[in-house]
Amino acid sequence: MIKVATIAGSDASGGAGLEADLKTFQEYGVYGMAAVTLIATMDGDRDWAHQVFPLSEEVLRAQLHTIFDGIGLDALKTGMLGSTYAVDMAADMIRTHAIDRYVLDPVMVCKGAGEALHPELNERVASVLLPLSIVVTPNLFEAGQLAGMDTPATIDEMKEAARRIHARGARNVFIKGGSRLEGQASALDIFFDGKDFNQVESALIDTRWTHGAGCTVAAAITAGLGLGLEPYEAVSRAKKFITYSLRSGFALNRWVGPGNPAGWRKGFN
Ligand code: PXL
């Protein structure tokens, strides 16, 4: 059995975070494990305001010990880390266990929350985790932050950000422009392996129900790498997977709706 793990936050609403990761791993037919860094909750009495409860260093260390020392893994993803000790412990485990297939999802914002969640962590994530990653999956905002430039708004700016992020140590950079790129008629992402650029494109999906999309993409890439795909193949397959997922997204309540990682089973309709 292929075994993959996520080090991420738990999203009590079930659409993002490690819940999205585990659902995605299941759809890929790999065995999923999770080390919880924090628990995110949302309050329906306060317009779905987010709150984050970090778990202690001790609790995180014990989980990492279970997964890395007690079991072993074929690929790893990190999502929302939420503390400097989580960043440093993840890095330490990746180094000690020589984890080659490590996907860094540099989660800096939650769609629901709007603001950067742990701005003080962004630079540490960039300096400590980027050099360990086989693929990093920033959205436009995160790409700007990792690259030390304004949020890219054009394809050329995305490429410039990708070059800079690669120069900081990520072996492959996948920047998700998605629907947010100005004047773009498709969902357009950029993949850069340090030599060549590939545009990864799909039709735009007109939906509000995109909660957890970023987590799902990174988890799909991780599962693909665990199964032995090359980085670009894993990214291409993840792009198809998220397109199916977003096509079958649905509302949970009046604020939020996730994609559906099981969407690929129905195929396009
Ligand atoms: O989608 C980003 C994200 C990642 N991880 C956790 C979250 C969210 C957004 O809500 O709650 C735990």
Report how far ligand 1's centroid is from the alpha carbon of 163 (Å).
27
Segment 139-159 mean pLDDT: 95
Nearest CA to ligand 1 atom 4: 17
Segment 133-161 mean pLDDT: 96
Nearest CA to ligand 1 atom 2: 110
pLDDT tens digits for 72-129? Answer: 999 999 999 999 999 999 999 999 999 999 999 999 876 555 556 677 899 999 999 9
Q: What is the pLDDT of residue 185?
A: 81
pLDDT tens digits for 175-213? Answer: 999 877 777 788 899 999 999 999 998 888 999 999 999
Nearest CA to ligand 1 atom 5: 17
Q: What is the pLDDT of residue 179?
A: 79
Residues in the chain: 269
What is the token pair recorded at 245? 């997922």
Which amino acid, one-letter code, is at 38? Answer: L
For the CA of 39, the closest atom of ligand 1 is: 12
Band of residue 13 on the pLDDT scale cut at 50, 70, 90: very high
Question: Which domain covers residue 31, as residue numbers?
Answer: 3-207+214-266
- Candidates 80, 111, 125: which one to mutate for ligand 1, based on the most atoms within 8 Å of Cβ? 80
| Domain CATH number, residue 25 | 3.40.1190.20
pTM, 2 dp: 0.96
Q: What is the pLDDT of residue 203?
A: 86
Report how far ligand 1's centroid is from the alpha carbon of 99 (Å).
24
Please give all residues whose beta carbon lies within 6 A of any atom in ligand 1, as ranges.
8-11, 16-17, 40, 79-80, 107, 110, 112, 212, 214-215
- Candidates 6, 10, 11, 22: which one to mutate for ligand 1, based on the most atoms within 8 Å of Cβ? 11
Structural domain count of the chain: 1
CA distance 36 to 18: 8
Task: Name 167's Cβ contacts closer than 8 Å, sequence gap at least 6.
Answer: none
For the CA of 12, the closest atom of ligand 1 is: 11
Q: What is the pLDDT of residue 269?
A: 43
pLDDT at 267 over 90: no
CA distance 235 to 257: 24
Q: What is the pLDDT of residue 125?
A: 96
CA dist 64 → 56, 89, 97, 158 (Å): 13, 8, 11, 34
239-242 LR contacts (CB < 8 Å, sep 24+): 239/189, 239/200, 239/202, 240/202, 240/264, 241/24, 241/27, 241/216, 241/217, 242/213, 242/216, 242/217
Range 145-172 burial, b when 16+ CB lie within 10 A, else e: bbbeeeebeebebbbebbebbbeeebbb
Least confident of 4-8, 34-38, 110-114: 110-114
